[in-house]
Amino acid sequence: MSQTQVARPDSIQEEDPHNEPPTKKQKSRRPASPSAPLILPHQRLKAWQPILTPKTVLPILFAIGIIFAPIGGLLLWASASVQELVIDYTDCASTAGEEFTPIPSSKVSSSFKSSNNTAVPQWRLTRNTTTPPYSVTIRDTPVCTLQFSIPNDIGPPVYLYYRLTNFYQNHRRYVKSLDTDQLKGNALSNSSIGGSSCDPIKRDANGKAYYPCGLIANSLFNDTLNSPVAVNLAGGAPGEAYRMTNKSIAWGSDAELYKKTKYTNDQVSPPPNWHERFPDGYTDENPIPDLSTYEEFQVWMRTAGLPTFSKLALRNDEDTMTTGIYQMDIYDFFPVKVYDGTKSVLISTRTVVGGKNSFLGIAYVVVGGICVVLGVVFTIAHLIKPRFVLDFLAFKVVKLDLELLETKNSLHELLYNVDEAGQGIGAGVYGRLEENRGKRPNATTVFVHTTFAGLTRYKTIHRSCDVDKPSEELRLSHRYLQKNEPLKNELWDAQSVQQRYTRFVVDHSNHAHDKRQTPAMPPIYTIDTYIHIVSDTASSNPQSPDYVTDTQIQNQLRYLTAAYRNSSIGYRLAGIDRTTNDTWAANGDDLGMKRSLRRGTYSALNIYYQSQLQTTSGTTGVPTGALLLGSCSLPAAGVTRSTLPDAYVVDGCNILSGTLPGGNIGGYNLGGTTAHEVGHWNGLLHTFNGYTCSSADFGDYVADTPQQVSSTSGCPSSRDTCPNSGVSAGIYNGVGGPNPYGPQGYSGPDPIHNFMDYSTDVCYEGFSPGQSARMLNLWRIYREGL
């Protein structure tokens, strides 16, 4: 039979989940009918996954940088244009005297357009009788008077805030401590409040409900900030108050949460921290505050997310705050030192982006800068050393007909068909027959590879890969061995492989397939292996990241030896050579390369690791330069000791060097590609051979690899594409007794960990005992002694 080289579609394109044959759907637990009530919404959601390539990533990086950096600059400019004055008055009560004294510079910060602000802010502390809002008259009130200058006109509008630090309003227990029904005006009973979420501020010692209850209301900021008064305006004008209002300081949505209560004054008590303002509780002279109009309370109840926050207290939307010196009285009640906090007063303007905060602008500039830098670095890297990246948005299947010419042993004609599946999203698959330039009738090569097609439309893909159809001679050998290998119906295991399959061989010289006994043979045969490293000019440089090192070769041979150890097959390194040839590296002259490099006899394994393994130029219907993972020849009949080497010079394996351990082909760089391709060289077929679950399908002709309708993509946890396959005993009666497995073998999950599936390298675990026995016998039929 001709030495049919079978490329491993085998390749990266097999990762396409849409690339499945149309003959059988996989089982699904989803209800069959679209109207079935058990279908969940997510089962019908469309999904999309971006493919990151240099052509898509680099423009995105530069676009983000070009957009974000200017936006960040505008935000920084807007933040810098905000004019504000911040004075920390925490220590006023303990430090200031009855006369004005300078405020420490560490407690003052300002940002104004004018730099003529030479006046140093001052403070003083007096004790007066005051009447804060919603309060009785309070004697001996500490009044902190701040004196500061405004160097240039600001506003309108002008806003006055108070700022607290180290106050955690976002604490879970604090945030939950309120009763929304009570705030909406409902007169809840004492027992209802006792069971509410206002813990621990629910009821007083007499069992009377607090109104408003909860920790938030109890800790209300109770310093009174009065409007600034101008004491020395520019030009000597008499001083007057810059009147600010506490109206419209709360969010409109917040006001809707509060209603006037239905409680009477004697039904509830003020929270504990409100005692100084309501020393006698709620009375007719000092009644319950109307929370629907108490905007200072509404502002406080909107809890802050961070421990440092500012809340609006007063505003003036109409008048300009003119240049001059101002004084502002603050009724100092709110304690902050008990929790190591501070309190400040802040006078500020706003811009279209809010108050003074440079964080957002800095973040935009940093992100934009990083994206531009990364774009430049990746662009340089891509120009210096571009890497081939699969375009999973490109797909094209080319119909091919492979006519296998009849050999001198009168083999049957073999026709390979790969159905045209159209174009769509998925890995590109191309099939092509290329007859060797020597025109030897039993030298046919099949290439299956990935490529770019530049397509953007989606169409479901169906793939049929008939590389599992070997020569008629090899197929008959497989069928005979399938029928007669399971002597005494034993399952294959390592011991039975050594004990049973070393005691007979099959004579195929006359197609009678007569069994003849032979003396027991050694349980392991060793194959002389010649490794040829064929590199392009760039990768031949030892400094190149794609250079094939001696360590990679040694690791690959270790992997290959370990993969076949349980199959009683060994590999001995017979020689290594290195060749630099850009044409050969890209498979441009396969026959010439092998005529020059091949070593050994027909029983010697020659592996050509090519740095740019791809299709040759002039291939009709297939783009030149499409990348291949590998291809390998199947055993062929008709080779004898007298056969000239040039007749089987193409025998061997072509493998992309990037699949060596540590190579640059992600998912296929552990060494599994070589183990898979050498399996073809030893005569094995794909585990999904036939692409059907039909009882008439012989699959891969090995009984202990369950029938499989399609190849495996990636490394799924489990997969069973033929759950009902497997035929009862009695179909075959071999020379060793009945074969219980039938033409399909037994049923079970797909052999996704088998080297002859298309799983990624990390998924591979080994060959089945049946495959091991098959390789031993096919070796003796086709290659032994040659």
Catalytic positions, written as ranges: 677
Q: Cα–Cα distance between 426 and 418 in angstroms, integer?
A: 17
Phi, psi of 235 (to 5 degrees): 85, 5
Structure tokens at 650: 């193409």
The residue with tokens 């009285």 is 329
Query: 147 - beta bridge partners?
Result: 122, 327
Q: How far apart are CA 785 and CA 783, in angstroms?
A: 6
Rg (CA), the chain: 43
Q: Which pair of structure tokens corresponds to residue 87? A: 């004075």
- Rounded to whole angstroms, the Cα distance separating 3 from 390 reads 30
In whole angstroms, give the CA distance from residue 432 to residue 449. Answer: 10
Other beta carbons within 10 Å of 542: 8
Question: Could you give the CA distance from residue 94 to residue 103 in angstroms, rounded to a whole number?
Answer: 13
Dihedral, 721, 723, 724, 727 alpha carbons, nearest 10 = 90
Q: Do 573 and 606 contact (CB within 8 A), yes or no? A: no
* Cα three-residue angle 601-606-607, rounded to 5 degrees: 175
| Cα 734 → chain centroid | 53
- Beta-bridge mates of residue 125: 144
Helices 54-80, 359-384: axis angle to 10 degrees equals 150
For residue 708, the SS3 value is coil
How far apart CA 462 and CA 413 sit, in angstroms, is 26
Virtual CA dihedral for 303, 307, 310, 311, nearest 10 degrees? 20
Instruction: Report d(CA 487, CA 495) in Å as an integer.
Output: 13
Q: Give the amino acid at 633.
A: S
Please tell me the distance from the alpha carbon of residue 59 to that of residue 62, in angstroms, as a whole number. 5
CA–CA separation, 483 vs 461, rounded Å?
36
Phi, psi of 500 (to 5 degrees): -100, -45
* N-to-C CA span, the chain: 16
Residues 6+ apart with CB under 8 A from 429: 9, 13, 19, 395, 396, 397, 448, 449, 450, 463
Q: How far apart, in whole angstroms, are the C-alpha atoms of residue 445 and residue 413?
A: 15
Tokens of 182: 């009570």
**Assigned token pair, 738:** 């009945």
User: With helix as H, strand as E and coil as C, how does 578-627 read?
Assistant: EEECHHHHCCCCHHHHHHHHCCCCCCCEEEEEECCCECCCCCCCCCCCCE
CB neighbours of 689 closer than 8 A, spacing ≥ 6? 468, 698, 699, 700, 701
- Phi then psi for residue 432, to 5 deg, are -160, 135
Q: Are 620 and 593 in contact (CB under 8 A)?
A: no
Strands (E), 317-407: 324-331, 342-348, 400-404
What is the length of the chain?
Answer: 786
